[in-house]
Amino acid sequence: MRRFLLLGLAVASIASDLRAEPDIALKPGPGRDTVEAQCSACHSLDYIVMNSPFLTRTQWQAEVRKMIEAFKAPIDPADAEAITDYLTRAYGG
């Protein structure tokens, strides 16, 4: 049920992106689609670029974990891993 709700939310948020949010072009690489889909459900993707390039893999992992545990982002473990890998590769320091 939650999954379903969140999907609806993501669609709504993409619609509002088209209206108000400038496209933020994340660097290409494996996992980018997952990052764009999951992270942008709650916040614009400039959060990622702004916090770069200085976070280590452990620190990016902690950020992803915070989003899941504290902010209740419904991201499954495989996606969390893919997101951490992408952020470390594209925006790590």
Partner 1 sequence: MITRRDLIESVGAGAGAALLGAAFPARAEGPAEGRAEGGAGPELSPLLPAGTRAEARLESLPGKKPLIKLTTRPPNYETPIEYLKTAITRNDAFFVRYHLADIPEVDARTWKLRVGGAAAKASRELDLEELRKLPAAEVVAVCQCAGNRRGLFRPHVAGIEWGNGAMGCARWKGARLEDVLNLVGLGPDALEIVFDGADGPVVAGAPDFAKSLPVAKALEKTVLLAYEMNGEPLPHWNGFPVRLVVPGWSATYWVKHLTSIEVVAKPYDGFWMKPGYRIPSGRFPIVTRFPSQDTAVNVPITEILINSLITSHADGAEVKAGAKLVIGGIAWDGGHGVRSVEITADDGKTWVAAELGEDLGPFAFRTFRHAFEAAARGSHTFRARATNRIGQTQVAELIHNPPGYHHNVMQPVTIFVT
Closest CA to 24 of 45, 38, 52, 48: 45
Point out which span in 4-12, 30-38, 76-84 binds partner 1 (CB under 8 A): 4-12
The answer to whether 1 contacts partner 1 (rule: CB under 8 A) is no
The answer to whether 4 contacts partner 1 (rule: CB under 8 A) is no
Among 15, 43, 57, 76, binds partner 1 (CB under 8 A): 43
Are 92 and 48 contacting, i.e. CB atoms less than 8 angstroms apart?
no
The answer to whether 15 contacts partner 1 (rule: CB under 8 A) is no
Angle between helices 32-39 and 77-91 (to 10 degrees): 110
Are 84 and 64 contacting, i.e. CB atoms less than 8 angstroms apart?
yes
Q: List the x/- string, 51-80, binding to partner 1 by CB under 8 A.
A: xxxxx---x---x------xxxxx------
DSSP per residue over 35-55, as a string? Answer: HHHHHTTTS-THHHHHTTT-B
The binding site for partner 1 (CB under 8 A) comprises 2, 5-6, 9, 13, 20-22, 24, 41-44, 46-55, 59, 63, 70-74, 91, 93
